[in-house]
Chain A
Amino acid sequence: MKNNIYFEPEIETLSRPELEQLQVEHLKTTLSMAAEAPFYKKLFAEKGITPDLIQTIDDVRKLPFTTKADLRDNYPYGFVASGLRKAVRLHSSSGTTGNPTVVFHSQKDLDTWANRVARCLYMVGLRDTDVFQNSSGYGMFTGGLGFQYGAERLGALTVPAAAGNSARQIKFILDFDTTAVHAIPSYAIRLAEVFKEMGIDTRTQTKLSTLIIGAEPHTEAQRRRIEEMLGVKAYNSFGLSEMSGPGVAFECTEQDGLHIWEDSFIVEIVDPETLEPVPDGEIGELVMTTLDREAMPLIRYRTRDLTRFIPSDCPCGRTHRRLDRIKGRSDDMFIVKGVNIFPMQIEKILMQFDELGSNYLITVHTVNSNDEILVEVELADLFTDDFAQIQSLSKEITAKLRDEILVTPKVKLVDKGSLPQSEGKAVRLKDMRDK
Chain B
Amino acid sequence: MTIKQLSIFLENKSGRLSEILDILAKQCVKIVASTVADTGDYGILRIITPDTEKAYLALKERNVSVNISEVIAAEIDADCGIYADLFRDFPAFQISVEYIYCFNVGGKSILFFRTSNNEAALRLLQSKKVCILTNTDL
A163 to chain B, nearest CB (A): 21
Task: Kindly identify which residue among A381, A386, A387, A414 contacts B11, using a CB–CB cutoff of 8 Å.
Answer: A414
Q: Which residue of A lies closest to B70 (CB)?
A: A385
Task: Kindly identify which residue among B11, B39, B42, B67 contacts A385, using a CB–CB cutoff of 8 Å.
Answer: B67
Instruction: Verify if B5 is at the interface (C-beta below 8 Å from A).
Output: yes
Q: Which residues of B contact A383 (CB under 8 A)?
A: 67
Give the number of chain A interface residues (Cβ < 8 Å).
18
Chain B, 50-88, contact with A by CB distance < 8 Å: what is the 0/1 string?
Answer: 000000000000011111010000000000000000000
Cα–Cα distance between A380 and B63 once the two chains are bound (Å): 9
Chain A, 403-420, contact with B by CB distance < 8 Å: what is the 0/1 string?
Answer: 000000000111111100
Cα–Cα distance between A413 and B39 once the two chains are bound (Å): 12
Cα–Cα distance between A384 and B63 once the two chains are bound (Å): 16
Q: Which residue of A lies closest to B16 (CB)?
A: A415
Tell which of B5, B63, B69, B98 has the most Cβ of chain A within 10 Å.
B63
A417 and B63 contact, Cβ closer than 8 Å, known pairs A379-B9, A385-B44, A387-B37: yes
Chain B, 93-132, contact with A by CB distance < 8 Å: what is the 0/1 string?
Answer: 0000010000000000000001000000000000000000
- Asked if residues B65 and A382 are in contact (CB atoms below 8 Å), the reply is yes
Q: Which residues of B contact A422 (CB under 8 A)?
A: none
- Asked if residues B16 and A384 are in contact (CB atoms below 8 Å), the reply is no
Cα–Cα distance between A387 and B66 once the two chains are bound (Å): 13
Tell which of A381, A382, A386, A390 has the most Cβ of chain B within 10 Å.
A382
- Asked if residues B67 and A382 are in contact (CB atoms below 8 Å), the reply is yes
Q: Which residues of B contact A380 (CB under 8 A)?
A: 65
Give the number of chain B interface residues (Cβ < 8 Å).
21
Tell which of A379, A384, A385, A412 has the most Cβ of chain B within 10 Å.
A385
B137 to chain A, nearest CB (A): 21
Instruction: Verify if A391 is at the interface (C-beta below 8 Å from B).
Output: yes
Task: Kindly identify which residue among A386, A412, A415 contacts B64, using a CB–CB cutoff of 8 Å.
Answer: A415
- Asked if residues A387 and B44 are in contact (CB atoms below 8 Å), the reply is yes
- Asked if residues A385 and B46 are in contact (CB atoms below 8 Å), the reply is yes
- Asked if residues B7 and A385 are in contact (CB atoms below 8 Å), the reply is yes
- Asked if residues A381 and B42 are in contact (CB atoms below 8 Å), the reply is no
Task: Kindly identify which residue among B9, B37, B46, B98 contacts A415, using a CB–CB cutoff of 8 Å.
Answer: B9
- Asked if residues A415 and B11 are in contact (CB atoms below 8 Å), the reply is yes
A382 and B7 contact, Cβ closer than 8 Å, known pairs A413-B42, A415-B64, A417-B63: yes
Q: Which residues of B contact A412 (CB under 8 A)?
A: 41-42
- Asked if residues A382 and B9 are in contact (CB atoms below 8 Å), the reply is yes
Q: Which residue of B lies closest to A410 (CB)?
A: B41
Chain A, 373-396, contact with B by CB distance < 8 Å: what is the 0/1 string?
Answer: 000000111111111001100000
Q: Which residues of A contact B3 (CB under 8 A)?
A: none
Chain B, 18-39, contact with A by CB distance < 8 Å: what is the 0/1 string?
Answer: 0000000000000000000101
Q: Which residues of B contact A413 (CB under 8 A)?
A: 9, 11, 41-42
Cα–Cα distance between A390 and B8 once the two chains are bound (Å): 12
Q: Which residues of A contact B64 (CB under 8 A)?
A: 415-416
Q: Which residues of A contact B39 (CB under 8 A)?
A: 387, 391
Q: Which residues of A contact B11 (CB under 8 A)?
A: 413-415, 418
Cα–Cα distance between A389 and B108 once the two chains are bound (Å): 33
Q: Which residues of B contact A382 (CB under 8 A)?
A: 7-9, 44, 65-67
Cα–Cα distance between A417 and B9 once the two chains are bound (Å): 13
Q: Which residues of B contact A390 (CB under 8 A)?
A: 9, 42, 44
Cα–Cα distance between A382 and B69 once the two chains are bound (Å): 11
- Asked if residues B69 and A385 are in contact (CB atoms below 8 Å), the reply is yes
Cα–Cα distance between A391 and B46 once the two chains are bound (Å): 17
Cα–Cα distance between A382 and B16 once the two chains are bound (Å): 16
Q: Which residues of B contact A384 (CB under 8 A)?
A: 7, 67, 69
A417 to chain B, nearest CB (A): 4
Cα–Cα distance between A242 and B69 once the two chains are bound (Å): 54
**A residues 318-341 in Cβ contact with B at 8 Å:** none
**A residues 121-152 in Cβ contact with B at 8 Å:** none
- Asked if residues A381 and B16 are in contact (CB atoms below 8 Å), the reply is no
Cα–Cα distance between A379 and B64 once the two chains are bound (Å): 10
A398 to chain B, nearest CB (A): 12
Q: Which residue of B lies closest to A381 (CB)?
A: B65
Q: Which residues of A contact B9 (CB under 8 A)?
A: 379, 382, 390, 413, 415
B132 to chain A, nearest CB (A): 19
Cα–Cα distance between A415 and B46 once the two chains are bound (Å): 16
Q: Which residue of A lies closest to B66 (CB)?
A: A382
- Asked if residues B5 and A415 are in contact (CB atoms below 8 Å), the reply is no
Cα–Cα distance between A381 and B98 once the two chains are bound (Å): 21
Q: Which residue of B lies closest to A386 (CB)?
A: B98
Q: Which residue of B lies closest to A416 (CB)?
A: B63
Q: Which residues of A contact B7 (CB under 8 A)?
A: 382, 384-385
Which residues of B line the A interface, CB within 8 A?
A: 5, 7-11, 16, 37, 39, 41-42, 44, 46, 63-67, 69, 98, 114
Which residues of A line the B interface, CB within 8 A?
A: 379-387, 390-391, 412-418
Q: Please provide the 7 A-B residue pairs with the shortest distance between their CB atoms, ordered closest to farther.
A: A385-B69, A382-B67, A385-B7, A382-B65, A417-B63, A415-B11, A382-B9
18 other A-B residue contacts (CB within 8 Å) besides A382-B7, A382-B66, A413-B11:
A379-B65, A382-B8, A383-B67, A385-B67, A385-B114, A386-B98, A387-B37, A387-B44, A390-B9, A390-B44, A412-B42, A413-B42, A415-B9, A415-B64, A415-B65, A416-B64, A416-B65, A417-B63
